[in-house]
A and B are shown apart, each in its own frame.
Chain A
Amino acid sequence: MTEESLRFAAKLSVIRAFSQIFALFRKDLLLEIRQQYTFYGVLLYVASTIFVLYLSMGEPEGPVWKGLFWMIQLFVCVNAVAKSFLQEGRGRLLYFFSITSPGNFIVAKLIFNAGLMLLMSLVSLGLFVLMLGNPMPNPVVFIFISCLGGMSLSLVFTFLAAIAARAQQSAALMAILGFPLVIPQLLLLSKISNIAFAEVIQGGLAGMIAVLVGLDVMLVALSLILFPFLWKD
């Protein structure tokens, strides 16, 4: 084969990978739009939790607000992401195994869950501000932080959902495995949130954002490397 045809073949395989990822992503999205279960289910969960918080504590102070927000995000993430692998039955997974590669499959799941968590973060932020008030001097910055945080959490839990699904356990196992693993992320997010909560910006926060983004990149890389081993049976 000439060099040109090799390059053409490489280009073709990249295009094929992208089209497979897009098709898998589209499948999840279509299922979600038709079934309308995860989004409204989690929405009800968030709304009722925040309503209970509002009834029990009214409008809390900044640090309490921040802590509650990230705890609720954690539970939202477990609930939103758990479905992604548990909904796929054994037969359907076998079918996916035969038509696509594990890398494409996990990338599609990661993108879908990150998008879902992005949406859920914005919704729960809106509900938080609506019901628990707004203690932040810089709320616009916090929108970006909550989006970043939601996506970071979704990356960890997507991989853990894959592990839990392979272990044929319920979402409970995912929570048990996940909570120790996300503590570093939650600590970082809580520190980074200070940008929005403090009048004076502390030093060293840019470094923390860099660590969080680096952690996310590492999580995606690990998912890509390790998922093929979960895949085969």
Chain B
Amino acid sequence: MLRQNWWKIICVVALIYTCIEGFLGSVPALPIINETIRNLYFHVAMWFGMMILFIVSVVYSIKYLRTNNHIFDIYALEYAKGGIVFGCLGLLTGSIWAGFTWGAFWSNDPKQLGAVIALLIYFAYLVLRNSMTDMDKRARIGAVYNIFAFAMLFPTIWIIPRMVESLHPGGMGNPALDSNDIDKRMRIVFWPGAVPGWTLLGVWITTLRIRLQLLTEKKHTSEPTKKKFSHA
């Protein structure tokens, strides 16, 4: 059991550590930001989780196109869905934080817009898949679009928001994740606790969903044979 589940144990331990240290640990007292600085453990870790899940999704899409193995398509879809959930949570936590520090929950900041566009691109992936009924075609065209969408994600959230003025930490002289900027007390919670904890939780949820999908499919494919037997 331990051989299979060691990463789930790490996930739980990391998340407990993150939550206890995140809410109770000492953080630098800064004006305006005050206690909202703790959002680093939740908001920023969501984007790490989202990006990692999207990367895994695109890897499975490439694998699908190379092997035509239907299971890889289910993997790609579920990882993309997991990434979307993390993206939505990242947007929500960021928006709440902005409400208390920037003075408005939504201020059309380039980083906020980039995140919304990225999510819209992935929603289009789900819509595209639902528009087709043929399973093979859905898998292949979905995989092609997923790779295309991932490539478009880079300018949307990594390049363009960095080129324009933004209130978001990490630009225009605002401190962010740079090792010189981040406080030592926060660094030991963020890197070993929050990032792996939330990412592993995303992977865990996704693997459960994949198992559910595989079981549902198995049930659907085995049903006709069962009927045959009952007739006999």
Contact = CB atoms under 8 A, between A and B. Distances in A.
Interface of A: 159, 163, 166-169, 173, 176-177, 179-181, 183-184, 187-188, 191, 204, 207-208, 211, 215, 218, 222, 226, 229-230
B109 to A, nearest CB: 13
Given A163-B141, A166-B137, A229-B144, A180 B160 contact: no
B106 interface: no
Nearest to B125: A177
Range, interface on chain B: 20 to 34
A120 to B, nearest CB: 23
Contacts of B156: 183-184
B121 interface: yes
Nearest to A173: B131
A34 to B, nearest CB: 32
A6 B143 CA distance: 37
Given A181-B121, A181-B149, A184-B117, 7 more contacts: A173-B128, A177-B124, A183-B156, A211-B159, A211-B160, A226-B147, A230-B141
Given A159-B148, A184-B117, A166 B124 contact: no
A167 B155 CA distance: 26
25 contacts: A166-B137, A167-B137, A167-B141, A173-B131, A176-B124, A176-B127, A176-B128, A177-B128, A180-B117, A180-B120, A180-B121, A180-B123, A181-B124, A183-B117, A183-B120, A184-B152, A184-B160, A187-B160, A188-B155, A188-B160, A207-B163, A215-B155, A218-B151, A226-B148, A229-B65
Interface in B132-171: 132, 137, 140-141, 143-145, 147-149, 151-152, 155-156, 159-160, 163-164
A184 B151 CA distance: 12
A178 to B, nearest CB: 8
A222 B148 contact: yes
A230 B144 contact: yes
Contacts of B65: 229
A146 B137 CA distance: 36
A222 B144 CA distance: 10
A181 B124 CA distance: 9
B131 A169 contact: yes
Nearest to A215: B155
Given A163-B128, A166-B137, A180-B124, A204 B163 contact: yes
B35 to A, nearest CB: 34
A219 B62 CA distance: 17
A169 B124 CA distance: 14
Contacts of B117: 180, 183-184
Nearest to B157: A184
Nearest to B148: A222
Contacts of B164: 191
Contacts of B131: 167, 169, 173
Contacts of A188: 155, 160
A166 B141 contact: yes
A181 B151 CA distance: 10
B148 A208 contact: no
Given A183-B156, A184-B155, A163 B163 contact: no
Contacts of A176: 124, 127-128
Contacts of B144: 163, 226, 229-230
